[in-house]
Amino acid sequence: MLGDESARSAPKRILIVEDNDLNMRLLNDVLEAHGYAILKASHGEVALDLARRCHPDLILMDIQLPDISGLEATRRLKHDAATRDIPVIAVTAFAMSGDERRTRDSGCDAYIAKPIMLREFLAMVEKFLGGPVEC
């Protein structure tokens, strides 16, 4: 019985994949303030490893990364049985015509353009996670 209660109160885990320190700090601070547990990666290959090992509830994926693109990382996640069901939200400065379609074609479940509008961003996260767990 006690184990069931602790499982319900565990915060949802979000993997932030972002190579810009300021953007990482902003996303981290906002999400932690709303009760989420955060995993962080600044490279696509590291994100793939973390996703396989830690199985986060949601991944926020920057598209332009130093090693592999966020689109390629998402394709790999969606082709891996261990990670394919983890929702991926593309968070990117690319907001040109066709960019949203390319993110969706790679397997991203949603798309948010930078600069992030905080209310819309949190609404999108909550759409996939059902809101943070209150302690």
* Any domain includes 64: yes
End-to-end Cα, the chain, rounded Å: 18
pTM comes to: 0.87
Q: For position 77, which CATH number holds?
A: 3.40.50.2300
Position 3 in a domain: no
Least confident of 22-26, 28-32, 89-93, 122-126: 89-93
Q: Structural domain tally of the chain?
A: 1
Q: Is residue 135 over pLDDT 50?
A: no
Residue located via tokens 């993110």:
103
So what's the pLDDT on residue 50?
A: 98
CA distances from 13 to 28, 41, 46, 49, 101 (A): 11, 13, 16, 15, 27
- The three-class DSSP label of residue 100 is helix
* Host domain of residue 31: 10-129
- Closest C-alpha among 90, 93, 96 to residue 72: 90
- pLDDT confidence band for 95 (50 / 70 / 90): low
Domain assignment present for residue 63? The answer is yes
pLDDT in tens, 19-72: 999 999 999 999 999 999 999 999 999 999 999 999 999 999 999 999 999 999
